[in-house]
Structure 1
Amino acid sequence: MILFTKLFLAHLFGDFIWQPNSWVANKELKKHKSVYLYIHILLHGVLAAVLVGEINFIPYAALITVTHGIIDLIKLHFQKDKTKRTWFVLDQIAHILVLIGIVLLYENKTIINFWQNNTFWILITAILLLTKPTSIFIKTIISIWAPESKNSHQDNSLIAAGNYIGILERLFVFGFILTGHFEAIGFLLAAKSIFRFGDLKEAKDRKLTEYVMIGTLISFGIAILVGLTVQALLL
């Protein structure tokens, strides 16, 4: 775990802290002809080697350099203005997967260690359950009470914001339960209620208020139930 932490720290320094916006702009403009691209990928290898601090790790640091360059080149050549966000996410996921692979390779482990780990599977299943599946379940359950949509309110809302907020709040509740911070759940619920109060008061729609409250309580209830279940399974 300490090896991955060091490599991830090197990644944070190389990709964010020590990469000026001027480098990013130059890379996007000149792509593989940008000198800053090669400085950037070399920096990742050097940082990884220095932070790990082991002679035997130098070949693996070189591998990080090469793979980082390949991933960045793919992103630079395929991303468009409208797809930058998507490629940014894919780029970061690819880099993290490479770091995980380097750790497994360096420590003579295999992916089987994860596949045979019960805790890993329980956590992954619970987290996945609390995302889209739970959103669909809640939407289906409370659809019978769904108030009529009002375009004036929809225009002022981010696309699918409510869905993402629900997913995030469930993941927060799940994390709070696993770490034993039950009091934080009350704080989260209170904070959401405060932020929602103004909108609901302005809407002057009792049905909408009740609809939101039912959805919120079901969402929190499922997250708490899943968290307690996972906590019991991991004991």
Structure 2
Amino acid sequence: MILFIKLLLAHLLGDFIWQPNSWVKDKEARKYKSIYLYFHILLHAILAAVLVGEIKFIPYAILIAITHGSVDLIKLNYQKPNTKRTWFVLDQIAHILILIAIVLLYNGESINFLWFNNQFWILIIGILFITKPTSIFIKTIISIWNPESQNSHNDNSLATAGNYIGILERLFVFCFILTGHFEAIGFLLAAKSIFRFGDLKEAKERKLTEYVLIGTLISFGTAIITGLLVQALLLQLV
């Protein structure tokens, strides 16, 4: 099982944390001609090999990289602006299934999600998941709506501030769950509501209010579920 956790960590690092948006845009524009596609494939091979840390796993790391690149190419060639969300989900499912297949191919072990032997890897996966990966998931889910305000081009909002606020709030919620301070989540949600109330009142747009509310609930919900899941898995070790 620890092999799957390491490979999943490599996937999160390679596909989300260490893949700049400029790489994604270039791949979507140039597809197989994009140099960043091959950088991306190489990064996955290196991450898988380094995190597993076994010489004999190198051929499997190369196999992961090749299959990852193949899946990405299929998505890049067939996705359309109105099907990006569907292809994003299918792409991630395919990558996870490939990792499971590699684990079974490498050592023949079955994957038991109820028992782990390393708390560190569980925490790392949980923390990484609620940062940039969750931000991308939320953005993908709510991209079906576009509540552009008439004053959106004249606001004084910091660039990407909303993204970092979301990540920080999820990290706080995650820590509150693991430390058993559930009441602090309510205070955090209330504090955010107070700060947001002024902006939404000034905007005077119901669509924007609903858009922000949906994003906030998904963000908090994801952090709570992730925290509870990590907590449950950690308790299996006690």
Q: How does the TM-score come out when normalised to structure 2?
A: 0.48
Structure ranking higher in helix proportion: 1
Q: How does the TM-score come out when normalised to structure 1?
A: 0.49
